[in-house]
Amino acid sequence: MKYLDEFRDPALAGRLFAEIDAAVTRPWALMEVCGGQTHAIIRNGIDQLLPDQVELIHGPGCPVCVTPLETIERALEIASGPDVVFCSFGDMLRVPGRARDLFAVKAEGGDVRVVYSPLDAVAVAEANPDRQVVFFGVGFETTAPANAMAVVQASDRGLSNFSLLVSHVLVPPAIEAILSSPTSRVDGFLAAGHVCSVMGTWQYEPLAERYHVPIVVTGFEPLDVLDGIRRCILQLEAGRGEVENAYPRAVQAEGNTAAQDVLAEVFEVCDRSWRGIGMIPASGWRLTPAFADFDAEQRFDVSDVTADEPSECRAGEVLQGMIKPDECEWFGTTCTPRTPMGATMVSSEGACAAYYQYRRIATPVSVRHG
């Protein structure tokens, strides 16, 4: 069992498609929250092969996309500083600020480095005691444990030259914000599997109950995504609205308690602004007072760096599922991966980028029941 190809088997996919076909009797709109799932859907053409009545709306599951413009500007400001080594995950490098991105800062001479893990940034800090090393800590709950451990390690090793620029966002408040919006068209959710590996599934119970919507914890391989959709549809057709775990090999109801313990030590809930959506109360994490010394925003005093989102970009409507990327008038013309207007076109998980990258040719009907 290698946990990859087995969950990509075309024959089993065919069965899942057939089950979904057989179950659907009327239109339903499902939202996948996680950018990784958006990527899997578009890259495999899953939306092409589903029955027409099943609509997939791509939710705000891309932490890169939802990092507020202001935070990007502060990152650019910090990264431009002399003696700063700015470390980041690869995806953040091309997210546009008002006029430039981290790549441009690098071209102008800034020491901007891509790392795979936040622990690599801690190692850089240890190796460069006379430089300020900043790690751009973005992500959902899946990434927060890694960022938390980086801060703990830096603290344990007395690395006063290390700091974290925090921009963590939480999934349940985002789902609630969408559900409580009067313009929401979402009938059911595919919850982010790896977020739930960390946090468990218990946070979604009150939401499912209060709004009577199915919330299905879903994985990332094609069969996982199809099964998540299948279970959501079955619930909707039967009038149910419950939390269901379609990714049991990687998710337990209680989640990862070891990670949750460290998270509780290092982070506390705060209000957070989501690029393109606006402020969602209690939807983010910031460093606790015990670790506030490691907060890059305080260390570098960038509080006077502010930014307003450009009014033309409609990433917010895409993120809320109100329009599809190709329904935006800028899509593919003014706004392309080469000249992105908003982060949804830059991040490989952004819905706009996924649409642009994998733009489709109509699939012949006979293929659909593959």
- Which 264-293 residues touch other proteins, going by CB under 8 A? none
Q: Which is nearer to other proteins, 311 or 361 (CB)?
A: 361
Using the rule CB under 8 A, is 16 a contact of other proteins?
yes
- Which 89-128 residues touch other proteins, going by CB under 8 A? 89-91, 93-94, 103-104, 106-108, 113-120
Contact 328, 318 (CB under 8 A): yes
Rounded CA-CA distance 204/170 in Å is 12
Q: Which is nearer to other proteins, 236 or 246 (CB)?
A: 246
Q: Which residue in 69, 165, 223, 232 binds other proteins (CB under 8 A)?
A: 223
Q: How many CB atoms lie within 10 A of CB 138?
A: 26
- Which 307-326 residues touch other proteins, going by CB under 8 A? 325-326
- Which 146-205 residues touch other proteins, going by CB under 8 A? 146, 149, 153, 156, 192-195, 197-198
| Strand extents, DSSP E, 89-209 | 111-114, 132-139, 162-169, 188-192
Question: Strand, coil or helix: what is 220?
Answer: coil
Q: Residue 83: left if φ>0, alpha if ψ -120 to 50, beta else—which one?
A: left
User: Residues 364, 367, 369, 370: what is their CA dihedral angle, to the nearest 10 degrees?
Assistant: -160
Q: Which residue in 206, 248, 281, 310 binds other proteins (CB under 8 A)?
A: 248
Using the rule CB under 8 A, is 15 a contact of other proteins?
yes
Using the rule CB under 8 A, is 82 a contact of other proteins?
no
Amino acid at 274: W
Nearest distance from C-beta of residue 293 to other proteins, angstroms: 21
Question: Strand, coil or helix: what is 288?
Answer: coil
Q: Which is nearer to other proteins, 174 or 302 (CB)?
A: 174
**Sequence-distant (≥ 6) Cβ neighbours of residue 243 within 8 angstroms:** 191, 201, 204, 205, 208, 215, 216, 217
Q: Which is nearer to other proteins, 140 or 291 (CB)?
A: 140
Using the rule CB under 8 A, is 240 a contact of other proteins?
no
Using the rule CB under 8 A, is 22 a contact of other proteins?
yes
Which position has the token pair 């969950």?
7
- Which 327-356 residues touch other proteins, going by CB under 8 A? 327, 331-334, 336-339, 347-349, 355-356
- Count residues binding other proteins (CB under 8 A): 105
